[in-house]
Every structure is written in structure tokens, then in C-alpha cells.
Amino acid sequence: MNQENQTIEPLLQQHQGDEDATTTLQGAGAAAGNGNHHHHRGSSSKLTLLPLVFLIYFEVAGGPYGAEQAVRAAGPLFTLLGFLVFPFAWGVPESLVTAELSAALPGNGGFVRWAERAFGPLAGSLLGTWKYLSCVINIAAYPALVADYLGRAAIPSVAGAGKARTATVVAMTVLLSFVNYAGLSIVGWGAVALGLVSLAPFVLMTGMAAPKVRPWRWTVEVEGRKKDWRLFLNTLFWNLNYWDSASTMAGEVDRPERTFPRALAVAVVLIAASYLLPLMAATGATDATPEAWTNGYLADAAGIIGGSWLKYWIEAGAVLSSIGMFEAQLSSGAFQLLGMADLGLLPSVFARRATRFRTPWVAIAASSAVALAVSFLGFDDVVATANFLYSLGTLLEFAAFLCLRARQPDLKRPYRVPLPLPALVAMCAVPSVFLAYVCAVAGWRVFALAGALTALGVGLHGAMKLCRSKDWLRFNTAVVAAAEDRGGVQAAGHTV
């Protein structure tokens, strides 16, 4: 772990001697990314290291809830190996890409800004569509999960379909959206509090289990059936993706060139430990077979190890974790829309900020409304489609990273991954193979739905271009003009 941490942590010196065209265009992009903020560097309203770490934590994981299916699919040993290796084989490459590009192009919008810079507005808009839809589909699940927990623990009428459940999901979505409206700093420090409270019972369980652990229990095999490798890999993927989501809020981070690499380094280690240690404790200190590991079994294991009070704490922690993930991912989706408006890819209304809290209230309201609509759809194919769209977006994101390294080597990179281009290609190839696998095993309904949504994204980009050319809607035209100028310079064979 230390070697991986050291790979992310170093901050190299800035490159000097960038061409005047690069500086000018970067300045235009930064102005667009920050023109609506009215914040000062170092302001207390900016995100600092600890809140950013926990926002990334909730974007990616939120705790080991849901990891039980991996044990059921492949047994304890492969699960432990998976949660040991996967955060680094998958999380580190994406974290390194996010650290370098968030520092080099630090405005809001994150990965949209990177794709637009590398391949042009259509690529930025399409990647934004894929990632945004994936994000709001995830957001939609969390109020429903909270309703499930409330139904089992206290209010049975909320558990089944009906008016009570619908009212609960709507009320939770609206209430949690208002918390997001109150400010990103509040969301960030709220994530710190939620993270510490929800992680504490797992720390206690791990400590209490240590004397009871018998390593031979980690080698128990799945009996009576074959290992379900597809479920195993999908569980790993579902629990450990979205490392890049916090990049959409880069314009709200204090000294992003320094804070992002450090936050991602800490988050990789925190997330790996938050899965690995509780799973080692629960599988090593109880005699449950892999078949017993259904969703929620970690709470049952905590009850066996520490008593009913620890079980109830972990069940309550699941509710807090769902709230934390909702808040973090809603912030990411809202600031992505704001960043796309800053870039001229969406109407400027999405960049409007609340006077008091400086939050993008139109983008928050739109994201909440979309998530609420999605929450009433059937989730099987919708969630699979979210994974598919996320995979397509991340493949394009890796391509943008490599393209910018190759075609714009003089772009100022306050943090630079300390590897040459061939090594970077190899680094991105490892997670790309897995992303290609996720896409390849999707069913025909997922292909059809993803294709329709992609066509919708292309159509939306065309519609926005038409609205901009006809002055039907207001757009931030300064950055659009800068992008067109940059495209002309690139077509002339110059590096910007």
C-alpha cells in the first residue's frame, strides 16, 4: 500500500515555458470555470483535505455494505484477494488520472472539461451525458434503500410498494436535496461526520474479532455449485468505482493542484481498509458458509462477534452511509451540470448559484428531479445500464488523458503522474480491460437502452448547438469561442 501511496503523493515541479496560446486558452477556461464562484483562494467555503477525502469515500464506497455478495459468489479467500488487489489495480490508475487532470484543468465539470480539451465539445458533451446518467441512477437508489431499512427496523408499511413508501422516497429526496443546497462545505463536513460514525462499528468489530479469527476459515470453498465469477466481478466493480466523480467539484477545492493528489491517496488506502479489515474479521471469526453471505450478513456477523448492540449500530450505519452517498453524488452531478454550463455545453441557467450559499441551485433541483423520476423505474436493467454508461465514459476519459499527454506535453501540470507515455498506456490498459468486459457481458436490453441514451446525448448536443446559434437560450459563449479557436490552431498543426 505504501508504494502505491507514494506513487500518488509526490508533487512535481510545474513545467515552464508553455506556449502563449496554451496560457491564453487555459486562462479562458479557468475564467469560465471560476467566474461564477466569487470565492477567494483559501476561503473557508472551499473544500479542504479532510472533507474531500470523505466525499471521495462516499462517492466510491460508503463502507463495506453490499460486499457480502462477493463472498457468496466466490468464497472468502477470493473476496479478500479481490478487495486487496482491486482498489489498487482499478482505483489507483483512475485516481492518478483524476489527480493529474484535476490539477491541470481545475474548473468545475472535471472529466467533461478533460474530454472537451482533448477531443472537442461533442466528446465532452457525450462523456458528460454518460457519466451524469450513471450518477443520477445511483442517486435514485439511496432514498429507496433508506426506506427499506426503515421498513425492516421501525415502519413496516414503508417496506412494501404503496403510498407510504412513495411518500417516504419523495420526502427523503427533497429533504436531502435541501441539505445539498445549504452548501458544499456543509456537505463535506457532514460527510466527515457520517463517515466516522458509520465506520466506527466496523473498527470495533475488527478489534473484537481479532482473538477469534482462525485463518483456515478464509479458505472455505463454495459448495454444491460453481463460483459465480460474473457476480463476483460485478460486486467488486459496483463497490469500487466512481473515483473520478469528485473531479466535477475541482473548482470548489482549496488549492486543487495540491489537495486532490493527497485526498485521492488517502482515500485509496481508507477505502481498501474499510472493505478488507471487516471482511477479514467477519469471515475469519464466524463459521458461516458462503451461502449465508446475503446482503446484510455483515450486521449478523457483528451480532455474533460483539452482540446485538453492535449489529444494530452497523444497521444504523447503513442508513447513514446511504445518506452520505446521496449527498456526495448529488453534489458531483450538480457541479457537473454547472461545469458543462461554464463550458457552454448547456444553457447558462445551470450555472446559477444561490445568493447566500453559492450552490448551483438549478443544477441541484434538476438532478434531484431526474433522480426522483428514475427511482420509480425497475432497477435491474437500469443499474446494469448505469454500469455500462459509466464504463464507456471512463474509457473515453482514459483516452483523453493519454491524448493530452501525447498532444499537449507542455500543458501545465502542477501534479504529474511520474511515468512516461508507454507506461501510462499500460497503466490505463489494466482497468480498460475490465471496463471492456463489463460492456461485453451486458445483455441485449442493456445494449439497446445504452444505445438509445447515447443517441439522446448526441441529439442533445446538436440541439444545444442549434439553440446557441439561434440565440434561443443563453449560453456562456466565451469558452465556446475559445474552444473553436483552439480547434483551429490544432487543425493548423500546432500544439496548444
Q: How do residues 402-436 score in pLDDT, each as one tens digit?
A: 999 999 999 999 999 999 999 999 999 999 998 99
SS3 category, 221? coil
Contact between 445 and 381 under an 8 Å Cβ cutoff? The reply is yes
User: What pLDDT, on a 0 to 100 scale, did the predictor assign at position 374?
Assistant: 86
381 is a domain residue: yes
Whether 481 is in a domain gets the answer: no
Cβ within 8 Å of residue 354, ≥6 positions away: 181, 361
pLDDT above 50 for 287: yes
Per-residue cell: 400? 483523453
Residue 250 lies in a domain: yes
Residue percentage of the chain with pLDDT more than 90:
65
- pLDDT of res. 164: 83
pLDDT, residue 494, reads 41
Give the pLDDT score at 194.
Answer: 96
**Does some domain include residue 157?**
yes
- SS percent in the chain: helix, strand, coil, step 5: 75, 0, 25
Neighbouring residues of 328: CB distance < 8 A, sequence distance ≥ 6: 55, 58, 59, 187, 191, 245, 246
Please, which pLDDT band fits residue 40 given cuts at 50, 70 and 90? very low
Rounded Cα distance between 235 and 237, Å, is: 5
Decide if 485 is inside a domain. Answer: no
Buried b (16+ CB within 10 A) or exposed e, 364-384: bebbbebbbebbeeeeebbbb
Tell me what pLDDT residue 479 has: 61
CATH of the domain at 136: 1.20.1740.10
Query: To the nearest whole number, what is the mean pLDDT of the chain?
Result: 86
Q: What is the pTM of this model?
A: 0.86
Find the mean pLDDT for residues 131-148: 88
Residue 274: give the domain boundaries.
Answer: 49-471
Q: Which amino acid is at 117?
A: R
pLDDT digits (tens, 9 = 90+) for 441-472: 888 888 998 999 999 999 999 999 999 999 99
- Quick one: cell of 421? 507515455
**28 domain residue, yes or no:** no
The pLDDT, as a whole number, for residue 36 is 44
User: pLDDT, tens digit, for every residue of 167-180?
Assistant: 888 999 999 999 99
Cell of 289: 458458509
Residue 412 has what pLDDT? 94
Distance between CA atoms of residues 187 and 51, nearest Å? 8
**Mind giving me the DSSP string for 154-219?**
T-HHHHSSSHHHHHHHHHHHHHHHHHHHT-HHHHHHHHHHHHHHHHHHHHHHHHHHGGG--GGGGG
* Domain total of the chain: 1
| pLDDT for residue 75 is more than 90 | yes
Q: Is residue 15 part of a domain?
A: no
Q: Please, what's the largest Cα pairwise distance for the chain?
A: 71
172 within domain boundaries = yes
pLDDT at 148 over 60: yes
Give the whole-angstrom CA distance, residue 261 versus residue 243: 12
Task: Kindly tell me if the per-residue pLDDT of 158 is higher than 80.
Answer: no
Number of H helices and E strands in the chain, helices first, is 20, 0
